[in-house]
Structure 1
Amino acid sequence: MRTTVYRLTLLTAVFMLMASCSMNRKRELTIYVGLYEDHAIKVIESFQKETGIKVSYVSLSNGEIFNRIRAEREKPGSSVWFGGPSETFIHARKEGLLRSYFSKNAEFIDTQYKDRQGYWTGIYVGSIAFVSNKAWLQENGLAYPHSWEDLLKPQYKGMITMPDPRTSGTGYTILGTLVQLLGEDEAFLYLEKLHEQVNSYPTSGSVPGRYVGSGQAGAAIMFSHDAVKFYKEGFHDIFVSFPEEGTGYEIGAVAIIKGAPQLEEAKLFVDWVLKREIQELGKKVGNFQIPTNREALPPDEAYHLEDLNVIQFDHQWAGENRERLLKRWVKEVLKK
């Protein structure tokens, strides 16, 4: 009898010790960040304060995040992919790199801004624009570009910058826009001509705005909200215009990586970034995307899709065909 009581007491003590260790375990979360770092930091700080979960992050361009997740397939080094155009997320899902999760807060996100099987959920949207240096345009006697054909004028030769679609989600959204607007073969003929005008293909989608703002380039193709950010930061020679034939747009997304080492923490983070008040944090640190949560208030400076000539952009098709289109771009445009 005494032996039985002793064993029960010992087991109880062991269970209490295990529970105590579990309760005292320091909760952590590692994420890959594909949006502006200042925006990510604001969200991460609020999440840490609310949950007590310590967050570590690595900031990369969208294509770089995809390549890293692919390389880490057997042993993921992160649990969440936070930000960047959904086409790359769709490519990742196609390769089995993401984990489905239906957040309770996804009900506030309209159907067109989320994956039906829960592999990614939109957190913001933003349009592709032409971003020009006003002083350079005036010096060359040019009006603001309002057509894709305008960028092929002789004065633009060597003065255009756009992000590399292999590494930049912005760059691939531009490529996907042209293919869906013009048809694939016509789009690649156009891109070959545009290549003769381009002076650089930065790996990051936002860098072209800095080049234009500082006068290193006359015009860029990039997201309109990034251009607004640079203007607000002091690059007042920046001017934003849109192609009259039509433009595309991104759905910036969040997803859980398959095999996430911190799964429960990852789910909490996805829940967090879909909330109205969290999606409104971006504008507090100078970011001007449109939130996807239908109850969130967009920045006053944001360009709304309904005010633009936006094409019926098929994000699913663009994501599923990403690898093929990138190979064609390298072969036919870069001639490699």
Structure 2
Amino acid sequence: MTKGRRSRRGAALTMALAAVVLAAASGCAREADDVSAAQDGGVVHVACGATEEWCAATTEQFAKTSGVKADFVRLSSGEALARIQAGKDNTEFDVWYGGPADGYAAAGAMGLLEPYASANAKVIPAKYKDASGLWTGVYVGALGFCSNGELLKEKGLSAPKSWADLLDPKLKKDIGIAHPSTSGTAYTALWTQVQLAGGDQDEALTYMRRLHPNVLQYTKSGSAPAQMTARGEVAVGVIFSHDCVATKEEGFPDLEVTFPSEGTGYETGGVALVKGAKNPVSAKKFVDWALTPEAQEIGPRVKAYQFPTNPNAKVSDKVVDLDSLKLVNYDAAAAGAAKPALTKRFDEEVGQAPKS
């Protein structure tokens, strides 16, 4: 046999072996996909931190768009974290959607989330997502004050324009705010005080203790103070501004939104995969879809006026211009890392968390 013929036979044998290896690899990949699909029930269970209406509209539209069944349980940030942690050995949810990202950061530190870098996350600005893919932002909302003008007029006061204004003795038992252990909104307010104090948690808690006599009650939900203000139960609510705008549209035109001059915090509402999800394929489809303009344009249709993180999504004219506000440097990762200890201190040193 000549040298050239042996070379051709060797090359042919190499190609044949390569084809076998490729076929085997493809078979393994298909088998893995089949196994993954078999483990997925074609449904996604969502722990939802947005408003009830937004949660319903979002899961309904996702189901129509994808053909995947979807359901949700509406939970405040603290409740969602507690439920996900309690079910870590037998997961109840596949996805966590909505609510401030510091809660997601805390969950990530506890090993409760599964990193997932969706291809759709590429367009989301870096400041609105976790670098490792633990969570990705779907909206942004700024913290502000929601005031009942009639009640304030009776007290000879105007709408507050600073955190210091909230300490006025005339507002005794006349401020509504949630508890930071249960509400992401309230924790945003607490962490904002930490940032305004240059990172000093003691000073931040001192401010909250000074505010305490003016607080009527600490609610479980962060949006509840908007309704309290609208009904005249309190003169001022400390909430995300979009919740006040939505309540105003429900028939309370006298409500007024203002922002603190010292600086205010903001939330980046997230979406993330829950570790150990029983429907991981459907869960990833939900995350992918939640980052699209279609998904992020749902909010205004149900009076949820947060700023979308996808730059290609249309922005409602009722969404506050973030560039017009003085914002603190809100690091969700740092806020999340500090959350367990800081909320415990708040509960012990300022006000007890509301009971279920």
When normalised by structure 2's length, the TM-score is: 0.86
How far off its partner does 1:102 sit? 0.5
**Alignment correspondent of 2:209:** 192
**Alignment correspondent of 1:242:** 259
Deviations 1:200-233 (A, max 9, x none): 1110011000000110101011100111110111
> Which of residues 205, 214, 223 in structure 1 aligns to 2:240?
223
**Alignment correspondent of 2:63:** 48
Looking at CA atoms only, which structure, 1 or 2, has the larger radius of gyration? 2
The residue identity in structure 1 corresponding to 2:280 is: L
Q: Is the partner of 2:219 in helix, strand or coil?
A: coil
Map 1:1-336 → 2, pairs under 5 A = 27-182=42-197, 183-334=200-351
How far off its partner does 1:108 sit? 1.4
Separation (CA, whole Å) in 1 of partners of 2:115 and 2:144: 32
Q: Which runs of 5+ in 2 are unaligned?
A: 1-33
Separation (CA, whole Å) in 2 of partners of 1:47 and 1:146: 40
Contact kept? 2:56, 2:72, Cα under 8 Å: no
Separation (CA, whole Å) in 2 of partners of 1:64 and 1:186: 27
Q: Is the partner of 1:321 in helix, strand or coil?
A: helix
Separation (CA, whole Å) in 2 of partners of 1:241 and 1:103: 36
Q: Is the partner of 1:201 in helix, strand or coil?
A: strand
Given the superposition, is the C-alpha separation of residues 147 and 122 from structure 1 closer, same or farther in structure 2, using an over 3 Å criterion?
same
The residue identity in structure 2 corresponding to 1:75 is: N
How far off its partner does 1:169 sit? 0.7
Contact kept? 1:161, 1:198, Cα under 8 Å: yes
How far off its partner does 1:237 sit? 2.0
**Alignment correspondent of 1:4:** none
Contact kept? 2:41, 2:279, Cα under 8 Å: no
The residue identity in structure 2 corresponding to 1:166 is: S
The residue identity in structure 2 corresponding to 1:32 is: A
Separation (CA, whole Å) in 2 of partners of 1:313 and 1:78: 28
Separation (CA, whole Å) in 2 of partners of 1:315 and 1:237: 33
Deviates more, 1:266-275 or 1:48-57: 48-57
Deviations 1:86-134 (A, max 9, x none): 0000000000000000101001100000000000000000001011100
Q: CA RMSD in A?
A: 1.5
How far off its partner does 1:298 sit? 1.5
Q: Is the partner of 2:196 in helix, strand or coil?
A: helix
The residue identity in structure 2 corresponding to 1:134 is: G
The residue identity in structure 2 corresponding to 1:208 is: P
Separation (CA, whole Å) in 2 of partners of 1:70 and 1:216: 35
Q: Is the partner of 1:251 in helix, strand or coil?
A: strand
Separation (CA, whole Å) in 2 of partners of 1:47 and 1:161: 34
Contact kept? 1:26, 1:53, Cα under 8 Å: no
Separation (CA, whole Å) in 2 of partners of 1:178 and 1:289: 22
Separation (CA, whole Å) in 2 of partners of 1:203 and 1:129: 18
Separation (CA, whole Å) in 2 of partners of 1:304 and 1:164: 27
Deviates more, 1:138-147 or 1:265-274: 138-147
Separation (CA, whole Å) in 2 of partners of 1:205 and 1:98: 23
Deviations 1:145-174 (A, max 9, x none): 111111111110010110111111101111
The residue identity in structure 1 corresponding to 2:188 is: T
Separation (CA, whole Å) in 2 of partners of 1:113 and 1:149: 29
The residue identity in structure 1 corresponding to 2:99 is: G
Q: Which runs of 5+ in 1 are unaligned?
A: 1-18
Separation (CA, whole Å) in 2 of partners of 1:92 and 1:54: 25
Contact kept? 1:276, 1:295, Cα under 8 Å: yes
The residue identity in structure 2 corresponding to 1:261 is: K
Q: Is the partner of 2:178 in helix, strand or coil?
A: coil
Q: Name the count of aligned residue pairs.
A: 315
How far off its partner does 1:140 sit? 0.9
When normalised by structure 1's length, the TM-score is: 0.91
The residue identity in structure 1 corresponding to 2:72 is: Y
The residue identity in structure 2 corresponding to 1:235 is: F
The residue identity in structure 2 corresponding to 1:270 is: V
Contact kept? 1:213, 1:236, Cα under 8 Å: no
